[in-house]
Amino acid sequence: MHTTASDGTLSPEELLVYAKEKGIEYCAISDHDTMDGYLQGKEKAKELGLTLIPAIEISTGYRGIGVHVLGYCLDPLNPSLEPVLNFVQKDRVRRNHQMIQLMQEDGIDISYEKLEEEYGDIIGRPHMAKALMKLGLVSSISDAFDRYLKRGEKYYVKREYISFVDAIEKIHACGGIAILAHPYQYKYEGKDWEQFMLDAKNADIDGIEVYYSGYDLEQIDTLLEIAKENNWIVTGGSDYHGTNKPHIDLGVVNVPDSCICKLLI
């Protein structure tokens, strides 16, 4: 789940209240490149009787593309995490400024200051998408990504990432387990997919996100098979972002009838 500490639209407290309303008992705030949302929400979770698993979603680089690695059960105060997060956060800001400049050069009325005023300190492409929507330039957030913001489109600027391998190592150094997030999102197929899985294994990944909003039962079955072959931990995530991803609701993923869920706490 994402909060306003990254690119979700509910504050950690609001999100946890919503999780409680939905009947959720165990959950993880896995904001992009920060554990601030988790730290903010910890007390509220206790108050509500929810188990809040410490988590993060780190943006990493693998073969020139951005691959997300989830860290679960890690110590948010471990000093080895800070330099990594500083690097990733700083580079996000650099990238944001460049994307906004490209839009401004095209005459689009957008500014970093206005985005910060509206959405807080942590800005990501979903906020830019919302701004483009407000200006009437796109019809939805996904339209904004498809036409302007995704890799290969006009206003996309690449971020510098820490390597996939380093991120996994850091999560381990903080006592956590490293999980490959939404494995199909990177559009690998055939030999490239096989290489991706092999590289994840060689990088010492602990598990894979099998249950994910939008993945159908066939996709889930394939991922379950891969997890079994590699002896990987299986996790699930809705990737809830509030109104930044309006098609996703909290705690909702497809789960086959045959699924036996093992909780990792």
Residue 181 backbone dihedrals phi, psi, to 5 degrees: -80, 150
- Identify the three-state secondary structure at position 79: coil
DSSP letter for each residue of 150-191: STTSTT--PPP-EEHHHHHHHHHHTT-EEEE-SGGGG---HH
Interface residue with ligand AMP among 141, 167, 174, 179 (CB under 6 A) is 141
Q: Which stretch binds ligand AMP (CB under 6 A): 38-46, 130-138, 139-147, 170-178?
A: 139-147
If one counts every other C-beta atom within 10 angstroms of the C-beta of residue 259, the result is 16
Give residues 171-230 in contact with Zn ion (rule: CB under 5 A).
Answer: none
Q: What is the C-alpha end-to-end distance of the chain, expressed in Å?
A: 17
Q: Could you say which of ligand AMP, Zn ion, none residue 125 binds, taking C-beta under 5 to 8 angstroms by partner kind?
A: ligand AMP
Q: Which residue stretch of 7-15, 86-94, 167-175, 219-227 sits at the interface with Zn ion (rule: CB under 5 A)? A: 7-15
Task: Yes or no: say if 33 and 59 are a contact pair by the CB < 8 Å rule.
Answer: yes
- How many residues bind Zn ion (CB under 5 A)? The answer is 2
147 touches ligand AMP (CB under 6 A): no
Question: 98 or 230, CB closer to ligand AMP?
Answer: 98
Q: In b/e form, how buried is each residue of 83-113, taking b as 16+ CB within 10 angstroms?
A: ebbeebbebbeebbeebbeebeeeebebeee
Burial 229-249 (b: 16+ CB within 10 A, else e): ebebbbbbbbbbbbebbeebe
CA distance 54 to 35: 8
Name which position in 4, 7, 54, 176 contacts Zn ion (CB under 5 A): 7
Q: Scanning residues 199 to 258, which ones bind ligand AMP (CB under 6 A)?
A: 241
Rg (CA), the chain: 18
Among 44, 125, 130, 170, binds ligand AMP (CB under 6 A): 125
- Looking at 124, 176, 183, 237, which residue binds ligand AMP (CB under 6 A)? 124
Q: Does 145 interact with ligand AMP (rule: CB under 6 A)?
A: yes
From candidates 142, 219, 222, 230, binder to ligand AMP by CB under 6 A: 142
d(CA 238, CA 148): 25
Q: Determine contact, residues 220/210, Cβ cutoff 8 Å.
A: yes
Measured from each CB, the residue nearest to ligand AMP is 124
For residues 22 to 41, the per-residue mask of contacts with ligand AMP, x marking binding by CB under 6 A and - elsewhere, is ----------x---------
Task: Output 32 or 44, the one with its CB closest to ligand AMP.
Answer: 32
Smallest gap from Cβ 241 to Zn ion, in A, equals 5
Find which of Zn ion, ligand AMP, none residue 183 binds, CB within 5 to 8 Å per kind. none
Per CB under 5 A, residues contacting Zn ion are 2, 7
Per CB under 6 A, residues contacting ligand AMP are 7, 32, 124-126, 141-142, 145, 150, 241
